[in-house]
Structure 1
């Protein structure tokens, strides 16, 4: 009898333990619910003047403007380069792309060699996606990659090697989505997903991914290939195709792109995800072709180190954390700052061995304006073979640095120095290098020292 009573007590005690929550599992679940999702929307070739919220008048962008009204706008945000591949590498690694031998867009191997750069991003490079994945996030990449793969580069690392769980990407990637690549090229009218539906496809992929990971925080690169040329809007009423470089085609593509940003935000709200999602909206580099106000009154375009090539629209939204409807007109932010900044906001542990070039600007995103204490550097143009554009007054010197209110541009050999007070002269109309020789010499010394610290091709 005593044995039976003891057995009953033991069984009852065991059952009671099963009814208690497992502390570790409970804490992890609570932690996951509190950690924000992160979506980086990286538009392709969008000038600051393409967005109504930044003064653009080419075409209304009501949905992008609505996102801006729900969050914070920065007017001094800079991309990592005036062209796609190195710009994207700076976001992924949080480092200057030149440290990983990225200088211009990736193409076939002969072009990459002529440009003095590698064929793909080293998989041993730091990766914001990997840092988030290692901290418990589900990670996705939907859209353009262009950091390796395509053409005759068949040995580019796969997405998983950069810490990405799920992906749907274009031809310029190691694993192109077959629905987007019926032929061996960037786009084709034979593609299952037509050119004008690609952004919608990437938005659908993002929403589906996040819906399937509701109990896990998500990190997503949403990197559409709009508004890059060719501009191919959906034909209407049997009309003839618009010229893919025309302003009329651009307006239609921009209108569709804006609609898809609205679909994304509406979809997040319907799923109860919007309020706990940090959304970054920006561009990889400036506009090209440039017409009207696409560069927002700045000098330069894509391929140029003048402001029109590297100063981008920037919106960040996170309801209840980031102030709504505010514009910060003084805080500088660089693309490589996104890694430490978003990591801080999301509670991500960054390896102690990681040597960041970017700085944590989380307080700026939370609404406290401040100047960036570290200089920002750029390189574009190692020779005259692969860097012949743009022509005319938009063609800049090969190097640039911004330090506070000052910006200096110059060539690798120290020639053609140009100095601008970028706060007073954002259009870079008045070169004051001769009148401010002390400042010009100070910045040229820092700029050349930075450039000489970058690895040569094959020595990364």
Structure 2
């Protein structure tokens, strides 16, 4: 990670934790990657849409970075940069993956090369159980039927949406983001991914776990629960501010469930949790979602690339810290998390990030 000459950089804080912990069992790692979340969405980063007490609590118990940047201002290349620790252009990702014609017109790949390095492969090689629960969008869906499966990227277990090589049938009654025919409705999707994460960790009790928890509910369409007692004013449009607020509120509830579940199974203090987003929000609601930053999703200005970032590791990373100086990018996460967990990088790995 880039420290900018700070006396106490984010890397120094994390490495102090690693040094004191390296002689005991390896930590679990959960990377929560939200979808299209603006810098100003959650209250711990100045958002005023709805209170987000559970996400705020995660920040109070850990370290908050205010200069973290995604690898791209749109989903597929951003996700590829985080997964590989490399610039997405190295793997021929230029914009979001769509159907084959769109991808060809954009002169990009239909899916991430299975020979690419992957944080899943890195942690699996170190003896971790690895899971991906949530959106993928690095190959599969629409008319792309030949995308490699999750196991090719190092994941033992998965549950994902239609934009993946193996959509979960409970989530995808049709080949689209959501349908009223889905067994698990859109408003319960993040709950399902949290349930799958906790179930996976219970099943692998005694073994370190690496999990991508990548919910997609903050991305449009916003579909809150169709219940008068829940919404107070339903039906509403799927791009209305009222719908967004309810979806954001439910996301916060599920982050709280995750933390409570980890504590219940005795793994909270042994788990590194990262919370961030793939790219900024669209310029909805008068551009208020990006915290006053110029630009939005699809833009290389900070509104498209500067993301909220929280890292928590109870008892290891000092609580309540805010780092306003360290500039960190998504490509730094693979080498940094590997070092924190005492995991070796593959021989010959030439990532673009630094630890």
Q: Is the 8 A contact 1:290 1:301 kept in 2?
A: no
Other-structure match for 1:281: 275
* TM-score between both structures, scaled by the size of structure 2: 0.91
Gaps of 5+ in 2: 1-20
Give, in whole Å, the separation in 2 of the partners of 1:261 and 1:242: 25
Q: Deviations over 1:177-216 (max 9, x none)?
A: 0000111222101000001000000000000000111110
Question: 1:241 deviation in Å?
Answer: 2.1
Question: 1:290 deviation in Å?
Answer: 2.3
- The aligned runs of 1:377-396 (5 Å cut-off) are none
Other-structure match for 2:166: 175
State yes or no: 1:328 paired with 2:323.
yes
Question: 1:289 deviation in Å?
Answer: 4.4
Other-structure match for 1:214: 205
Match of 2:105 among 95, 106, 114: 114
Give, in whole Å, the separation in 2 of the partners of 1:129 and 1:357: 17
Other-structure match for 1:191: 182
Question: 1:175 deviation in Å?
Answer: 0.3
State yes or no: 1:304 paired with 2:295.
no
Match of 1:351 among 342, 346, 349: 346
Instruction: For residue 198 of structure 2, give the secondary structure of its aligned residue in structure 1.
Output: helix
Instruction: For residue 145 of structure 1, give the secondary structure of its aligned residue in structure 2.
Output: coil
Match of 2:157 among 166, 169, 178: 166
Give, in whole Å, the separation in 1 of the partners of 2:191 and 2:331: 27
Give, in whole Å, the separation in 1 of the partners of 2:253 and 2:46: 19
Other-structure match for 1:56: 47
Cα RMSD for the two superposed structures? 1.4
Q: Is the 8 A contact 2:27 2:270 kept in 1?
A: yes
Other-structure match for 1:342: 337
Q: Deviations over 1:152-182 (max 9, x none)?
A: 1000000000000000000000000000011
Give, in whole Å, the separation in 2 of the partners of 1:281 and 1:264: 12
State yes or no: 1:71 paired with 2:71.
no
Question: 1:58 deviation in Å?
Answer: 1.5
Question: 1:113 deviation in Å?
Answer: 1.1
Q: Is the 8 A contact 2:269 2:315 kept in 1?
A: yes
Match of 1:248 among 231, 235, 242: 242
Match of 2:289 among 274, 294, 300: 294
Match of 1:259 among 229, 253, 257: 253
Q: Which moved more, 1:287-296 or 1:274-283?
A: 287-296
Give, in whole Å, the separation in 1 of the partners of 2:48 and 2:172: 34
Structure with bigger RCO (C-alpha 8 Å, 6+ apart): 2
Give, in whole Å, the separation in 2 of the partners of 1:187 and 1:158: 21
Instruction: For residue 289 of structure 2, give the secondary structure of its aligned residue in structure 1.
Output: coil
Give, in whole Å, the separation in 2 of the partners of 1:265 and 1:33: 22
Question: 1:236 deviation in Å?
Answer: 1.9
Other-structure match for 2:5: none
* TM-score between both structures, scaled by the size of structure 1: 0.71
Give, in whole Å, the separation in 2 of the partners of 1:178 and 1:316: 32
Give, in whole Å, the separation in 2 of the partners of 1:243 and 1:290: 13
Other-structure match for 2:92: 101
Q: Is the 8 A contact 1:343 1:350 kept in 2?
A: yes
Q: Is the 8 A contact 2:186 2:217 kept in 1?
A: no
Give, in whole Å, the separation in 1 of the partners of 2:263 and 2:163: 32
Question: 1:33 deviation in Å?
Answer: 6.3
Give, in whole Å, the separation in 2 of the partners of 1:60 and 1:111: 39
Gaps of 5+ in 1: 1-29, 361-460
Q: Is the 8 A contact 1:45 1:226 kept in 2?
A: no
Large movers: runs of 4+ above 4 Å? 30-33
Give, in whole Å, the separation in 1 of the partners of 2:194 and 2:154: 21
Cα 1:227–1:340 change in 2 (3 A) is same
Instruction: For residue 49 of structure 1, give the secondary structure of its aligned residue in structure 2.
Output: coil
Give, in whole Å, the separation in 1 of the partners of 2:326 and 2:169: 42
Other-structure match for 1:380: none
Give, in whole Å, the separation in 2 of the partners of 1:63 and 1:295: 20
Instruction: For residue 228 of structure 2, give the secondary structure of its aligned residue in structure 1.
Output: coil
Question: 1:101 deviation in Å?
Answer: 0.5
Q: Is the 8 A contact 2:228 2:234 kept in 1?
A: no
Instruction: For residue 254 of structure 1, give the secondary structure of its aligned residue in structure 2.
Output: helix
